[in-house]
Structure 1
Amino acid sequence: MTTGVRRRMGVEERRQQLIGVALELFSQRSPDDVSIDEIASAAGISRPLVYHYFPGKLSLYEAALKRASEDLAARFAEPQEGPLGNRLLRVMRRFFDFVDDHGPGFSALMRGGPAVGSSATNALVDSVRQAAYEQILSHLGVEDPPARLELVVRSWISLAESTALIWLDGRRIPRGELEAQLVHDFAALAAVSAAYDDEMAGLVREMALGEPADSPFTELATRLIALAS
């Protein structure tokens, strides 16, 4: 008979374990409601040992939120293949996957609070928004966006955030409908802007070219035409 021996974790391995444990707890409750004692217990180590790897509660929270923000930013990465409307819909599905899986943590990260309201965590949120902004521009094939396009894309990113936060409060609207609605919202914002700017009008025409019958953009146009009839 052999007795199992617990393997001693290296410093970085233990740090990553604690970050993972913290994120799991943040998926259930806001970071402000999760204590270091809970994280230590879930990781199977003592409270003082947590402080051996992280100098303070905020440093552990910031490390965990950094990993979460990197994961969230990666949800906006999408191969530039196929119709734009379908690409954006896949992005929204991955975005809501994250929101669904990390509801309390997502809400706290976006709304701020004692544990997540530091300048470091605010910078993480801004980095996610910037990554999303750059990804959308890349799909539009634009490197130096005109002012109206920047306004459209940044407004849409803010709309996606606020929509997700409202949806988390009871999930009263089917998630799939919101994902499609947000893609429609992007097209609508761009179309309204195009009415005031020739350059935006050209971009909207390019967006519409080659959109198939099952594209969210085509669905939106069909719905609008039906309303006007």
Structure 2
Amino acid sequence: MTTGVRRRMGVEERKQQLIGVALELFSHRSPDEVSIDEIAAAAGISRPLVYHYFPGKQSLYEAALRRAADELAARFLEPPQGPLGARLLRVMGRFFDFVEEHGPGFSALMRGGPAVGSSTTNAMIDEVRQAAYEQILAHLEVAHPSARLELVVRSWVSLAESTALLWLDGRRVPRAELELQLVHDFAALAAVSAAYDEETADVLIRILGDEPADGPFGELVGRLLVLAPQLPAQPLR
């Protein structure tokens, strides 16, 4: 991703260019493997000029991470219309688009890269998780969740993250199947919690009442009904 022609840029324009170049490089290789020299060459400027705008790779990494975190958080934005299952499936599609586009960078972000242990980095990761959590609550139309419902949503956000990381290691399961499975996982987590929590039960009943038979949640019910005849006739001891 070289510019080919050098030209004078304003300070902010140059910073944004360097962030974009770094993010592109970090998207294909772990940030640990990308040098300042490579970033400078891709941007069409000298190494000292990179340091003029950023004191080191750590600060440039964090700036690129900030842009990536904002973009990732935006993937969870979804208009609150239509059945929840279809909404979550679209969210998972955009989430995995990001994971696929920024594989090594996403992995380094979640597992720790050159900024591992950095309070700034950890705060940005937490912001993404919190944004995803708040978006899901908005779709559930719940402002103040019970402790169990909060656990369901936060557990599901964490599950989506860990599933994406595992998928990147070999991609042994088709992506579309994982996206659908994660939507089913949300319903399953909510169903289990509903057995213990009245608020979660109320939310689940309301959600399922709006779901079409051919939607993602309806498909889950169909899959479970196929398994039902194979279950033991007597209760497990």
TM-score (norm 2): 0.93
Deviation digits for residues 30-83 of structure 1 (CA, Å, limit 9, x no counterpart): 111111111001000001000111122211110000000000000000000100
Counterpart check, 1:183 vs 2:180: no
Structure 1 regions of 5+ residues with no counterpart? none
Q: How does 1:39-50 map to 2 (within 5 A)?
A: 39-50=39-50
Aligned residues of 1:78 and 1:91 also touching (Cα < 8 A):
yes
Structure 2 residue aligned with 1:145: 145
Structure 2 regions of 5+ residues with no counterpart? 230-237
Aligned residues of 2:152 and 2:190 also touching (Cα < 8 A):
yes
Structure 1 residue aligned with 2:21: 21
Cα displacement (A) at 1:118: 1.0
Deviation digits for residues 86-134 of structure 1 (CA, Å, limit 9, x no counterpart): 0000000000000000000000000113334311011110000000000
Task: Work out the CA distance in 1 between the residues paired with 2:160 and 2:188.
Answer: 14
Structure 2 residue aligned with 1:133: 133
Aligned residues of 2:6 and 2:44 also touching (Cα < 8 A):
no
Q: How does 1:4-19 map to 2 (within 5 A)?
A: 7-19=7-19
Letter in 1 for 2:193: S
Counterpart check, 1:96 vs 2:125: no
Structure 1 residue aligned with 2:69: 69
Structure 1 residue aligned with 2:232: none
Task: Work out the CA distance in 1 between the residues paired with 2:113 and 2:173.
Answer: 27
Alpha carbons of structure 1 residues 6 and 92: separation in structure 2 relative to 1, 3 Å: same
Deviation digits for residues 5-39 of structure 1 (CA, Å, limit 9, x no counterpart): 85411100000000000011011101111111110
Task: Work out the CA distance in 1 between the residues paired with 2:45 and 2:177.
Answer: 44
Task: Work out the CA distance in 1 between the residues paired with 2:107 and 2:49.
Answer: 29
Number of residue pairs matched by the alignment: 225
Backbone CA RMSD of aligned residues:
1.1
Aligned residues of 1:31 and 1:115 also touching (Cα < 8 A):
no
Aligned residues of 1:148 and 1:200 also touching (Cα < 8 A):
yes
Cα displacement (A) at 1:206: 0.7
Q: How does 1:75-224 map to 2 (within 5 A)?
A: 75-224=75-224
% identity of equivalent residues: 79
TM-score (norm 1): 0.96
Task: Work out the CA distance in 2 between the residues paired with 1:208 and 1:87.
Answer: 13
Alpha carbons of structure 1 residues 7 and 35: separation in structure 2 relative to 1, 3 Å: closer
Structure 2 residue aligned with 1:54: 54
Cα displacement (A) at 1:85: 0.2
